[in-house]
Chains A and B, each alone.
Chain A
Amino acid sequence: MQISLKEWTRKGDPWVWLNAGAVAISLTAVLGLLLLITVRGLVHFWPHAIVEGEYQLRDSQPVTIVGEIVSDESVPAEQLRDGGYPVPDDVDFMTRYLIKTGNRDVLGSDFRWILSDALTDRRYPEQLFTLERREWGNYYGYLVSVKENGAEVASTASNAEAAVERFMAGVERSLDLYETIHEIEKVKIGSVNYELERLRLEQRRLELEDRLTPEALAEINALREQENARYKVLEQELGELYVQASRDSVVMRGMSGQETEIQLSKIVRAFQPNAMGLGDKLGHYVSKIWEFLSDDPREANTEGGIFPAIYGTVLMVILMAILVTPLGVIAAVYLREYADQGILTRTIRIAVNNLAGVPSIVYGVFGLGFFIYFLGGSIDQLFYPEALPSPTFGTGGLMWASITLAILTLPVVIVATEEGLARIPRTIREGSLALGATKAETLWRVVIPMASPAMMTGVILAIARAAGEVAPLMLVGVVKLAPSLPLDGNYPYLHLDQKFMHLGFHIYDVGFQSPNVEAARPLVYATALLLVIVIAVLNLAAVGIRNHLREKYKALEM
């Protein structure tokens, strides 16, 4: 013993260690949290092995289980006994698996808890398929036969390899068809519908203004006919495609031994995870991540991608930045350069500072009441009477969301810009003035260029805050599933009145409002990871710029 406990305590060292512990706990928590999100978010896309085994609780009939082991946990045996499970008396703990058995259309639910001890004879047959479907979630099972127009063209019984090949080719073909169908339905028919709606509103507007002359009506009707004709053509095309798409089907055998016939057009992806090598798995992984980033959501947002949410978030944030930058900079320049630095300006400065601490939901309430109901309602009355009673701007939408968030982030930009302006040495300003430049010239040519990194910092911080803000958006225009993107090929291209999807709200909605939380959870982790990465990058960029800026002025002050 070099130091006695008493001596050590007297010096106050336990307290210092406790303080160190506080830092360490905080750090562990942050890093642990990031690690948790990263691991859970990334693992989801990896192809999981499908296990097959016999499951038998003590007295019951054995059943075959086929599925992915999603998680396991150790449960006190007492709890299981209370739950009515037959558990031997001498064990304290049992391991329990959560198995994703898929086949919701056959089994009724996707997931199942089973006791690991009761799952025997585990095997990983290479022939097992995972089918990702557009409806009813994943299907796990064996390929039995492939059918074309209801007639069997290949079966595993006769030639397994050929059947699989045939099946894969069929999936490829139906994916191509799906792409075409999707293109027609979403883009082409979407634009016809948009055009028809526009004509209807046009007619209604003329009617309201009492200018609906027979000529105008005839013109509108002619245009309408044109659109209807276009629609007819598309509809026919679509009908043919649907017939083609429904040509192939496949018969699969699931874990209950039941055979299910599945249309190939309903399949997004088919693979045999147990047969995949590392390279195949990597390829699959990359393609899954790409799907996540670039595709529309499926199955009530629990499968597929989150592209519309990324798109909505980015667009909203860009609009917000366009709004907040000039406003924030002008206000800061006024406060720092033009206003008298008296008690009033100091008060304003404190007030602006404090606005940053006002709960974001309050801004949402303000946005809903003032922008949407008050301003939006008035705009509808004045400019869009033809669409009433359905609101145009009198309901939440992209524009109001951006403005609301612009107000919310305004203090961030003002404070950062002011700080930047304050850091510029007086000598530089005075030098410029002494050379005969006016105040405006000094500001424009000298001060603002020097303060621009600070403004950048402010804007980046504002963007980072806006990207992660959800509470106010819930009131001013975010939806769980937007029918179309707010920026598309239909005139006027940017639809400011449209509702949009948002990454943060997506997390809330899928995680908490989804009917199938268990299935959605991995996707929520992945979305959260994406959001964290975006925000971390933005923040680190802001910090980097700030540090760079400080270095720069340190040199100036010398």
Chain B
Amino acid sequence: MQSTIGKGPDLAFDTPKLQKHRRMRALKDKIAKQGIAAGGVSVIVAVTLIFFYLLYEVVPLFGSASMEQEHQYAIPGNPAEETVVLAMEEQAEIGLRLTRPGNATFFRTDTGETVVSNSLPIPEGVAITSLNEGSLGSRTLVAGLSDGSVLLFKHDYKVTYPEGTQRVITPGMAYPGGESTIQLAPEGVSLTSVAGRDNDSYRVFIGAGDDGELYGKLFSKSENFLTGEVELSERQLTLPRTNSQIVDVELSPDTRRLMLVTQAGKIEMYNLTNRSKPVLMDTAQIVKGSERITDVRYLLGGFAILVATSEGRVEQWFPVRDDDNNETLERIRGFETEASGVAAMALEERRKGFVMASTDGEVAIFNTTAHRRALMEKVTDQGIVQIAIAPRANYLLVETSDGQLQYWAVDNEHSDVSFSALWEEVWYEGYQEPEYIWQSSAANTDFEPKYSLMPLAFGTLKAAFYAMLLAVPLAICGAIYTAHFMAPAIRRKVKPTIELMEALPTVILGFLAGLFFAPFMEDHLPGVFAVLIILPIAIVAFGFLWANLPKSIRLGVPDGWGPVLLIPVIILVGWFCFAISGQLEIWFFGGNMPLWLTNELGIDYSQRNSLVIGVAMGFAVIPTIFSITEDAVFSVPKHLTFGSLALGATPWQTMTRVILPTASPGIFSAVMIGLGRAVGETMIVLMATGNTPIMDINIFEGMRTLSANIAVEMPESEVGSTHYRILFMAGFVLFLFTFVVNTLAEFVRQRLRNKYSVV
């Protein structure tokens, strides 16, 4: 070192070592810059992913259906015979064609190659004159024959895996009622129309003969205890006498409701519950003039019927029960077929949907609940003879009049959703009128899902409304006082206390609301209302008394300590109100106010109601609004305040005329952010409401909100199903709502900040 100094400064900054060092540092700097930029950007991208992922799950709901032709071939079996039934099995690999002389051909749907040919066990020279499908999905059919007899048969498929995972489907015919036909009408009368049902307790056949008569047979089933065999015994079935000429007979799956379609375009609905005395429930005029009913089918569930007419209309009708228990057949909705005639219809087995083939060569897929045409496509220039849809509704078979069979793949996952199904009143099966209902699942498989978001949206807003009703005045007034009037010493304590309230887990608030406050309120309802009325009066009264106290006491407490003085008053008033609550209940409400509300005013009272939510969620929202409002009021420049006071305004005048207008954008944004929080809050509503999706503005009733609905139903919903996507949509709606509201609030706040930077 000594020598270096002696020689004078030898500052060699360019030694190779230092050069390398510098290069390394520059490189590190560069790497850090790139790395942080990459990291930062990817984090931000990851966060925006939420938005896009939610959207990605929701979009398929609104996509339209599509169909694509996969194969076309000449119809299997004898082309000269007329097809009466076309059907497919579960996997849509094997198809069935049944012709009028009773020949059944099972064929591969991809090539048209015949797998098995069968003939129904019907006598020589006898043909099928009418046919009726049993319950959807049962693959059971009833054929009415030209000799007046009926045959019950079923197409059956055995799935085996002979070599590991290779699936082999063996089709065949089965005869649940034996291979012999059952004589329904006298010999020589041919059955122009037939209906048959085969369920656990009954086997019923009803047919209309070409002599204009109705014939029916009823077998009741009983199980032999010893052998376990089912024994049939024929029972008397009295059929209605009618003068009209019957063209079609339809029996509901529970065998209790009979529809007779007449030549004159009417449907007569009978109740067969009493087997010896059919009751005419209603006669409905379906079509007028020269228009004829060409087809009537029971929709999935066996409640509603679809009626197709000669002019190409398809309508849904079902019985509606009025308050006096009378059933009338009502037109529920018609479908836009744009067709000049209906050639054939096929019904979906797992949804309330159907396919219609028009005489113009078009195929259209509809959903009844959603009242939506999912798809319409011209498949041929020829006419269409028959149509079939696979049980999973993913393939179609179309027979055209030029003897060809077309095999179409259908992509139609979410036809049960439409704008009207989500947001408008829908007339559901079994209801008296169109209603908003949310009921996404039930125990039975033929259930009609009710996806109206209105009750949920209503519940969300109702909960938020009551919460804001409590929170906004308390939080804003509190914030005004804290920011402007309160002594700094307590302000430093009060602010963190209220902010701590914000950090309180909502599950705790929900628990207290549901298990402590709700029962407490039910027992002390008059007390709750007494508090609401007496507390403000008591506070003002105390203020006035305080102002009139002798100076010696008044000046003992510094300015801005009001809240500390008021806490004992509030506790006292609260205690007093709840103490006299029982007495009030006895004096005014017959000892039980909730009961009194129900009996005297007709207002239903449920323990976990909107008032409870209002208080509990209001409590959760107060700190949010309080904190932001307090900041806004506090950051109003002091020279404005002082100027106003100096000009002789009272503190309150200064507050209302100077401070509040200046701080109002900030207060607005506070309210918006609070609203966002109230709308999205989950645990409190989940725990402190009954979670029943009802639309009722009654403050003493509960509700179900969008967020609670997600929490309740999401874990059980099937991935990719309509229900699953609708829940995602609820999440997306919440996301968008809060995001937009918060952005608006933030924007307003930024404006405010800029404004003051000028002042």
Contacts and interface: CB of A to CB of B under 8 A. Distances in A.
Whether chain B is bound by chain A comes out as yes
Contact of A508 (B653, B681, B683): B683
A373 interface: yes
A345 B40 CA distance: 11
Contacts of B32: 439-440, 443-444
A21 interface: yes
A401 interface: no
Contacts of A335: 40
Given A438-B26, A539-B503, A21 B473 contact: no
Given A365-B710, A410-B47, A357 B478 contact: no
Contacts of B543: 13-14, 16-17, 20
B563 A20 contact: yes
Contacts of B746: 350, 353-354
Interface stretch (A70-78, A226-234, A248-256, A289-297): A70-78
Contact of A512 (B535, B567, B582, B687): B687
Given A92-B583, A331-B44, A504-B505, A17 B496 contact: no
Interface stretch (A52-60, A127-135, A260-268, A524-532): A524-532
B544 interface: yes
A17 B542 contact: yes
Interface in B24-49: 25-26, 28-29, 31-33, 36-37, 39-41, 43-44, 46-49
Contact of B652 (A2, A16, A363, A467): A16
B508 A93 contact: no
Interface string B40-65: 11011011111001100100000000
Nearest to A535: B503
26 contacts: A13-B544, A18-B536, A22-B477, A22-B481, A23-B477, A24-B564, A36-B516, A78-B592, A92-B582, A92-B583, A357-B741, A359-B680, A361-B682, A361-B707, A365-B714, A365-B731, A366-B54, A407-B46, A441-B28, A468-B503, A468-B508, A470-B506, A471-B683, A471-B707, A474-B715, A512-B515
B547 A360 contact: no
Contact of B714 (A77, A475, A528): A475
A357 B738 contact: yes
Contacts of B116: none
A2 to B, nearest CB: 5
A26 B582 contact: no
A159 B683 CA distance: 56
Given A24-B567, A338-B37, A512-B687, A528 B508 contact: yes
B481 A19 contact: yes
Given A20-B562, A339-B40, 15 more contacts: A3-B547, A17-B540, A18-B540, A76-B582, A77-B591, A334-B39, A338-B33, A354-B739, A359-B679, A362-B731, A365-B728, A370-B53, A464-B503, A508-B507, A543-B499
A217 interface: no
Contact of A368 (B31, B43, B501, B714): B714
Contacts of B48: 351
A18 B711 CA distance: 39
B571 interface: yes
A443 B26 CA distance: 14
A20 B570 contact: no
Nearest to A506: B507
B600 to A, nearest CB: 15
B680 A76 contact: no
Nearest to A534: B505
A16, A37, A92, A532 interface centre (most CB from chain B within 10 Å)? A16
B44 A348 contact: yes
B43 A330 contact: yes
B477, B482, B496, B707 interface centre (most CB from chain A within 10 Å)? B477
A352 B44 contact: yes
A213 to B, nearest CB: 21
B523 A18 contact: no
A376 to B, nearest CB: 11
Contact of A17 (B476, B500, B562, B585): B562
A512 B712 CA distance: 13
A190 to B, nearest CB: 27
Contacts of A353: 742, 746
B569, B677, B710, B738 interface centre (most CB from chain A within 10 Å)? B710
Interface of A: 1-3, 5, 8, 11-31, 33, 36-37, 73-79, 82, 92-93, 327-328, 330-331, 333-335, 337-339, 348, 350-355, 357-366, 368-370, 373, 407, 410-411, 438-441, 443-444, 464-465, 467-471, 474-475, 504-505, 507-508, 511-512, 517, 521, 524, 528, 531-532, 535-536, 539-540, 543
Nearest to B674: A357
B486 interface: yes
A420 to B, nearest CB: 16
Nearest to B746: A350
A407 B47 contact: yes
A520 B436 CA distance: 38
Contacts of B586: 76, 78, 92
B673 interface: yes
A360, A508, A536 interface centre (most CB from chain B within 10 Å)? A508
B590 A78 contact: yes
A186 B29 CA distance: 54
A440 B481 contact: no
B: contact size bracket: 35 or more
B207 interface: no
Interface in B466-525: 473-478, 480-482, 485-486, 494, 496-501, 503-508, 510-512, 514-516, 523
A23, A75, A348, A465 interface centre (most CB from chain B within 10 Å)? A23
Contacts of A73: 523
Nearest to B48: A351
A2, A25, A531 interface centre (most CB from chain B within 10 Å)? A25
A471 B536 contact: no
Interface string B141-152: 000000000000
Determine the main DSSP class of A at the interface with B: helix
B521 to A, nearest CB: 13
A21 B53 contact: no
Contact of A24 (B41, B566, B582, B681): B566
A358 B47 CA distance: 12
B590 A27 contact: no
B673 to A, nearest CB: 6
Given A348-B44, A507-B508, A25 B535 contact: yes
Given A366-B731, A370-B49, A21 B505 contact: no
B537 to A, nearest CB: 10
A513 B498 CA distance: 31
A366, A465, A532 interface centre (most CB from chain B within 10 Å)? A366
A18 B516 CA distance: 28
Interface in B212-239: none
B738 A2 contact: no
A3 B516 contact: no
B650 interface: yes
Interface string B613-655: 0000001001000100000000000000000000000111101
Given A17-B539, A22-B474, A334-B37, A74 B582 contact: yes
B727 interface: yes
A532 B585 CA distance: 36
Contacts of A363: 50
B631 to A, nearest CB: 14
A362 B486 CA distance: 39
B676 interface: yes
Question: Top 5 nearest A-B pairs by Cβ distance?
Answer: A334-B40, A359-B680, A78-B591, A12-B652, A468-B505
Contact of A30 (B498, B515, B735): B498
A37 B508 contact: yes
A395 to B, nearest CB: 11
B652 A531 contact: no
B652 A359 contact: no
A317 B251 CA distance: 62
A474 B711 contact: yes
B28, B499, B680, B741 interface centre (most CB from chain A within 10 Å)? B680
